[in-house]
Amino acid sequence: MHRYLPSPSASAVHFSFLTIHFYALCILMGICSAILITRARYRKAGGNVDEVLEVATYIIPAGIIGGRLYHVLTSPDAYFGRNGHPIDALKIYEGGMGIWGAVGMGAAASFLYFKGSKKFGKKERSLSFAQFADAVVPGLLVAQAIGRWGNWFNNELFGRPTKLPWALHVPDAFRPKGFENFATFHPTFLYESIWCLLGAFLIFRISRLHTLDTLDSLDTLDTLPPGKLFLFYIAFYSFGRFWIESLRIDSAHLIWGLRLNMWVSALTFCVAIYFLRLKPSLKR
């Protein structure tokens, strides 16, 4: 008998006064996990953990808005096309969060939090923006790994048809046009979840070998400068996302035969590798 991963029978649980969407629940669980992991790493780096909760109040809404904007802007036909409904752009619980928009807006918000403290007369932060970025990346990867299961609950963003033992069985109602006769597909949500957990594990291992201290305390080129772990995260995730994106069959804008997100992944990978290879000045 052919084995496969089943699809969930429901994407939400309904009460008389409340509907809880599992997609939103996965996002919430991911956010909580990221905060807990970041607090522990920030404290270990010598930072004031109260700053993590404070900056989270800026990063979380910025990340959600940025992620949704990226998705809507790169998939406008679903909302503003011939059969689209603009109001659906606000229905985040139905799925559709672009990670690059979330990371970009979240990074911008945290940068302003750390760099803008002096400018706006606020107290000096205990650590730098680069140190915070390094502290947050493993938690961010864990959050992405958890959040991807929201796609499973929504029966969305799966890959090409396959009969591999771990193939995902997709109900008839959720099969894309042209794939109605196929029953099992690549579970790309699972691939990305595993890839993110692997990235988090690698960053934890790298962190044990290097310090998250400031550049002023660096004595050799073997010590990892602040910001390098964040760049590693960008490169690592982009590398895996390029491959995973190539498996997906949901509608997407194509540029020279490749999906838009594949081009974005390739660009961010190259930029991250370029800056990773740069050696900082170690003047004391």
pLDDT value of residue 280: 56
Give a yes or no: residue 273 inside a domain.
yes
Give a yes or no: residue 76 inside a domain.
no
pLDDT value of residue 217: 44
Q: Of 203, 224, 184, 77, give the one whose Cα is nearest residue 144.
A: 203
Q: Of 72, 150, 69, 76, give the one whose Cα is nearest residue 106.
A: 69
DSSP 3-state assignment of 161? strand
Return the DSSP state at 82: T
pLDDT value of residue 139: 96
C-alpha–C-alpha distance, residues 70 and 64, integer Å: 10
DSSP 3-state assignment of 93? helix
Give a yes or no: residue 80 inside a domain.
no
Range of the domain at 250: 12-49+124-277
Do 247 and 188 contact (CB within 8 A), yes or no? yes
For the chain, what is the domain count? 1
pLDDT value of residue 2: 60
Do 208 and 28 contact (CB within 8 A), yes or no? no
Give a yes or no: residue 101 inside a domain.
no
Give a yes or no: residue 251 inside a domain.
yes
DSSP 3-state assignment of 255? strand
pTM, two decimals, is 0.87
Q: Which residue has the tokens 């070998």?
A: 209
pLDDT value of residue 4: 85
Q: Which residue has the tokens 């035969």?
A: 257
Q: Of 274, 131, 128, 278, give the one whose Cα is nearest residue 207.
A: 131
Per-block average pLDDT, block size 10, for the chain (284 residues)?
80 85 93 96 92 94 91 79 75 79 93 73 79 95 96 93 94 92 96 98 85 41 75 96 94 88 96 84 37
pLDDT value of residue 16: 78
Give a yes or no: residue 114 inside a domain.
no
Buried b (16+ CB within 10 A) or exposed e, 54-70: ebbebbbebbbbbbbbb
Q: Of 75, 52, 143, give the one whose Cα is nearest residue 103.
A: 143
Give a yes or no: residue 154 inside a domain.
yes
pLDDT value of residue 104: 93
Give a yes or no: residue 58 inside a domain.
no
Distances (CA, A) of 2 to 152, 168, 191: 20, 12, 20
